[in-house]
Amino acid sequence: MKSTGMTRKVDELGRVVLPIELRRTLGIVEKDPIEIFVEDDKIILQKYQPQQACMITSNISDNNISLGNGKIILSPEGAEMIIQELQQYLVRS
Q: What are the structural domains of the chain? A: 1-48 (2.10.260.10), 49-93 (no CATH)
Kindly report, residue by residue over 57-73, the tens digit of the pLDDT: 989 888 999 999 888 99
The pTM score is 0.51
Kindly write down the DSSP assignment for every residue of the chain, as one continuous string: -----------TTS--PPPHHHHHHHT--TT--EEEEEETTEEEEEE--TTTB-TTT--B-TT-EEETTTTEEE-HHHHHHHHHHHHHHHHH-
Beta carbons of 58 and 35 less than 8 angstroms apart: no
Share of the chain above pLDDT 70, in %: 98
What's residue 51's pLDDT?
A: 67
